[in-house]
Every structure is written in structure tokens, then in C-alpha cells.
Chains A and B, each alone.
Chain A
Amino acid sequence: MSAYIIRRILQMIPTLFGVMLLVFTLFTLVGGDPTYILAGKHLTAEVLANLRAQLGLDKTLPEQFMIFVRQVLTLDFGTSWSTQQPVSDIISTRIGPSLTLTGSMMIVDLLIAIPLAAAVAYFRGGLTDRIVTIACTVAMSISALVYIIAGQYFLAYRMEMFPVRGWGDSLLTNLLVYVPLPLLMGLMVSLGPDIRFYRSFFLEEMNHDYVRTARAKGLSEKTVMLKHVLRNAMIPVVTTVMMSLPFLMIGALVLESFFGIPGMGNEVVMAVNKSDFPVIKAVTIYIALATMLFNLLADLVYKLIDPRVQLK
């Protein structure tokens, strides 16, 4: 087990190196000279030279790459170009709101999608199944943007059930006042595909021989479904959820920027708008690291809940 973990962690090094190379290529070679953005109105040769020296742009490319590698290894990405705030400060303040929204969204989504998917799979071919499947297809065909725009207009602006947009200071106000509307809109988008996806897991499990055996030996439907099918069907569900965890960190991009939630997604959109390269670089590296770690964690959890799995 520990040998496996060590090997996997060692395998992350070339991938992380690749991500650094990709980010470096993008922002240094493709991105052009950022000094013009930074210099703003005080565009003199002296200022430009000064800025270049500060950013290390007067050095050779390998040297610049080494600076970036050092930044990644120390997780110190300097200061934001637009606000002069340390990038680590920005990220640590933005991650909270993102996780509040996406975390609660994921929990509610799972609580609704898994029982519904199980029920629909159990009554497959029946009227409930068909209604839910059609509803999912219809819900999936409408763009996420339409839900957000229409939801904000009707539920918040016209019916005044929720605040139109905003964010508070305490976790409780956020959860009770500001999260529900974006959460609802997020669910409208995610429930359709999720129910269909989980339904396929349950259907696959219910066709296995062990289900027939369990029924044949006289177990009640409840035991068959809850003890045998549910536990097996949860294996792929848990893996998908684990793999999606790093995406929670970058938050729901559109939801955040539309409802004015000061999270990571909002920050990324603003950083892209302002060409704030240090912030984008830092977020990309952090998310890549998280993705790799959670992939490993997903494999370990997989082993934990399914003893048949051999890690190699």
C-alpha cells in the first residue's frame, strides 16, 4: 500500500513539471510582454526596463522558467498585478465562498440524485422511469445560462423570494440567505445528467447474477436493494464524486460571477479580464495539484470500499 502511494506520488512529478511547462509557455511565450499592461499611463523606457527587471523578463527563458519553478515549489506566486495583494491571500480568501456554494450544492445534489436514480432504476421501463428520464432530457437541453438568467429574474427580482445577488460575512447568513438561489440553479443544471448517470450504475448492478441469487434464496426486496445493490452501485458513484472534488475548488464559474459571490470562479474570470497573470497561474497550479492528489485519493477510497480491487 505505502509502496503504491509513494510510486504514485513520484509519478506526479513529471505531470506537475508538464503543467508548469504548459503554464509557462502560455503566459510567457504566447501571452506577450506584460510590462505594457503594468506600466499603464507612465510609459517611459525607464519604467518599462524597471518593470522588466522586477518581473525577471530581462533574463533568459530557462532562467525565467527556473524562477517560476521556484514559485511553484515555495507556493509563493508574488503579488497580483491589478490589486498588488499577495496571490496566496487572494486564494485563501476566495476559496471559502466557493466551497460553501459548491460543497453544499454537491451534498444536496447527491441526496436527491442517488435515491431518485435508485428508485427510477428499480421501476425501470415503468411510467416513473419514463417521466424522470424525459424530465432529465428536457432539463439538460436548456442552457445553464437560461436557468440562471430566468431564475434570478423570476425568483429573485419578481417574486422576491431570494436576494438578487450578494454575499455576507458569516457562514450562516450565506448558507441561509445567499446560497439557496445559486444552489437551486446549479441543481437544475446538474441533477439531469447526474440522475441519468447514476441510474446507469444501478441498472448495471441490478442485472448481475448475485441479485438473482439473493432473490432466489428468499431475501426481502429491501435487503436485496439496500444491502446488495446499493453498496455495489455506490462504488462508481463514490469514485466519480471523489474525482469531481478538485473542481469544487474553482467553484461554479458562471454562478459565482452572475450572483456576485466572491469565490475562486469569480476571481478567475476577473483575473482573465484584467490579464492578471500571477493569479491565473497560481490557480491553475493549485487546481492541477489538487486534481492529481484527489485522483490518488479516489483510487485509495476505491480500494477501501471494494476489497476486490487490486492496486498495481
Chain B
Amino acid sequence: MTATVQTAPGMAAPVSKSLWALGWQRLKRNKVGFISLWVVSVYLLIALGGWFNVVGGNWLNEIAVPYAPPSWVGASGADVMPADAYDASGVESSAPIVTLARQEDPIGKELTEAEKDAGRYKVEEVKKRESLPFGADLRGRDVLQKTLKGTSTSIFVGIFGAVLALLIGTTLGAVSGYFGGKIDDLLTWFYSVFTSVPDMLLLLSFAAVSGRGITTIIMVMALTSWTGTYRLVRAEYLKLKSREYVQAASAIGASHSRRMFVHILPNISHLLLVQFSLMTVALIKYEAILSFLGFGVGVRQVSLGSMLAEAPSELVQGYWWQMLAVTIAMSILVTAFSLLVDALRDALDPKVK
């Protein structure tokens, strides 16, 4: 990016600044945008920590009693459904247990065999906690840890999906807009095919034929959501390819790929950043819906959507904390990200001085 182009005529700046430096300055002035930048950074740190198992790495540990209430709720949460009410009624109605001697028991031999080794596999009995900072789920896992890990998974799915989609969309859009002609016709046809099927239907069709898990979701999302970027990038390349600086590059013998990706691409990078943030938010929401419908992450993984999928059955029993935790985590993330997108769009708009 040539710095002089971006300098405003009315601004008597001694040193002309690049679009990015100007954008950063404008972003810092925008209070809402700057705060959301910090919030998003914190979330990204959590995501990174979750990826390397520093944050929420032991969410699978069953450290508390099932549905342990949050510690700040106190007794009121516990008396929704007393833990021992079920056992008490169970004892009264239970039928007499018939015991068999080892000799008459058909599996007696195997039982003796099994008990011999039982000592070796004894599970250390850990004292389960009665309450946790944000309660526990059905298996007594810490909701706070689970939310952190789930947020991390969701953000990673969103970011990787968006990066891949951006990569596909930018490459195809650049080739299409730069070369034009037959290639453009072919790629535009490809684009119109993908846009004539609704995203969600395409996502589900992909999910139907491929297995389940995080990698699949990321691939599926990338393959279905590159179209917006394609349209944007293609239009920009159509406009920019005949500009003087591209002609100049061509005159000094720059190759097609060099002109496309070294000369033109930096000039639309601000659009790509906005597009990337927009897509990340959208994909985080999509992931939640996919996981909720059961096409998302596997059983050994957790994401915000898979946590929400547990919420309906928990709510009926009066255990609301998991849903609250997810709602808070997700709302703050989505709000901060959306506000950041708005601020970025304003800050990086070259027309605004």
C-alpha cells in the first residue's frame, strides 16, 4: 500500500500514514470498538488456552455430585430436587434380592476370576464436591470449565472455518475477476450453483454424507460459506486490475500471480478483515445450531451448541446454570465481535478521513 495515496488532502500530517495505522488510530478513538477489541482478545486467549489444554483442559473430570448447584445459589438450588429423594423411595418398593451361591451361579467361575483382579483396578474414591463456582452438569463436570472449553471449540471452529472459506473465496474471486473471460464464466457458474441452494440445506447435505466431528464441521462450513467472499473479491479485482499501479507493475515485468497477490491483494486486505470477522460470528452461530441438531462435535468434545443441546432436559428438572453460563459466554462473544466488525468497518473505510 502506498502511503501517499491514503493521506488526506486537508490533513497536514508531516509523516503520511498507512491505511492500517490510520485505521488503528480511528479504532482507538472509537470507545465501543476499542472495548470490544479487548473483549474479543480475551476470548481469543481463552480459545488459544483451550486449544493447548491450558484452559478448561480437565472439563471431562467428574469432580462434583451430579447437578451440583453454583456455590452462590446456596441451598435454594439444591432443594429443587433433593438428591436422596429418589433413593428413599427406591428402597421401599424394591423386590427382595435373590442371592445365589457361587456353585449354582452360571457365571460363578467368571465372577471369582474377576474378583481376583478387582483390587488392581480399584478406582480411587474422590470426595465429590457439593457445589461448584458455576454448578455441575449431569455427570458432575464443572460447568465453568466446560463453558471455557466449549467457547474455545466454538471459536476455533468459527475461525478455522472462516479462514478456509476466505482462502477459497479470495483465490477463486481473484482469479475470476483478474483474468475474466472463460475462467470467469466457469467460476461464476460455480458460484451460482452454490448460491441457489440455501446454506443450511447445503450444510446438512454435507453433514449427511461425511462423518461427524470438528474437522468435518470446519470443512463443511468452508465449502458452503465462501460465496460471499467470492462475490466481494471478484468485484474488487474487476475494478482494480486496470488501475495505474497494476499497469506499472505489469510494465516492469511482474507476473500475473505477483500482480494479483502482491500488488492488488494488499489493497483489499481491509475488506477481507471485515469479511473474516463477519464470517467468524456467523459460523459460531451456525456451529451452535449444527451441534444442537446433533450434527456437530462428537461426544468427547464440547462446544457451546452441544452444551445448549443438554439444556432443555436440564431446565425441566430445574437445573438452569449450564444454560445460563452458555448464554452469557455466547452473548458477550457475539456482541463484542459484532460491535468490533462495525468499528473495523468504520475505521478501515478509506473514504472516511
**CB within 8 A of B193: which of A18, A157, A271?**
A18
Residue of B192, B285, B304, B326 contacting most chain A CB atoms (<10 Å): B192
Are the CB atoms of B294 and A273 closer together than 8 Å? yes
Q: CB of B206 within 8 A of chain A?
A: yes
Are the CB atoms of B204 and A149 closer together than 8 Å? no
The CA-CA distance from A287 to B304 in the complex, in Å, is 30
**B286-318: contact bitstring with A at CB < 8 Å (1 yes, 0 no)?**
001100111100000000110010011001100
Are the CB atoms of A145 and B289 closer together than 8 Å? yes
Q: A143-B330, A145-B292, A145-B308 are in contact. Are A280 and B204 (CB under 8 A)?
A: yes
Are the CB atoms of A287 and B201 closer together than 8 Å? yes
**CB within 8 A of B316: which of A14, A19, A146, A153?**
A153
Within 8 A of A (CB), among B175-230: 189-190, 192-198, 200-202, 204-210
Are the CB atoms of A250 and B323 closer together than 8 Å? no
Within 8 A of B (CB), among A224-265: 246-247, 250, 253-254, 257
**CB within 8 A of B312: which of A18, A149, A273?**
A149
CB neighbours (8 Å) of B292 from chain A are: 145, 254
The CA-CA distance from A291 to B196 in the complex, in Å, is 6
- How many chain A residues sit at the interface, stated as a range, is 35 or more
Are the CB atoms of A292 and B196 closer together than 8 Å? yes
The CA-CA distance from A120 to B292 in the complex, in Å, is 35
CB neighbours (8 Å) of A253 from chain B are: 200, 204, 289, 293
Residue of B nearest to A249 (CB): B198
Are the CB atoms of B289 and A284 closer together than 8 Å? no
The CA-CA distance from A145 to B303 in the complex, in Å, is 14
Stretch of B62-70, B123-131, B251-259, B331-339 at the chain-chain interface: B331-339
Residue of A nearest to B342 (CB): A137
The CA-CA distance from A134 to B338 in the complex, in Å, is 13
CB neighbours (8 Å) of A246 from chain B are: 198
CB neighbours (8 Å) of B332 from chain A are: 141
**CB within 8 A of B198: which of A31, A138, A277, A287?**
A287
Q: CB of A283 within 8 A of chain B?
A: yes
Q: CB of B247 within 8 A of chain A?
A: no
**CB within 8 A of B338: which of A23, A26, A140?**
A140
CB neighbours (8 Å) of A291 from chain B are: 195-198
Are the CB atoms of A26 and B316 closer together than 8 Å? no
Q: CB of A9 within 8 A of chain B?
A: no
Q: List 8 A-B contacts (CB under 8 A).
A: A14-B189, A15-B189, A137-B335, A141-B332, A144-B289, A145-B288, A149-B308, A287-B197
Which residues of B approach A to under 8 Å, CB–CB? Answer: 189-190, 192-198, 200-202, 204-210, 285, 288-289, 292-295, 304-305, 308, 311-312, 315-316, 323, 326-327, 330-332, 334-335, 338-339
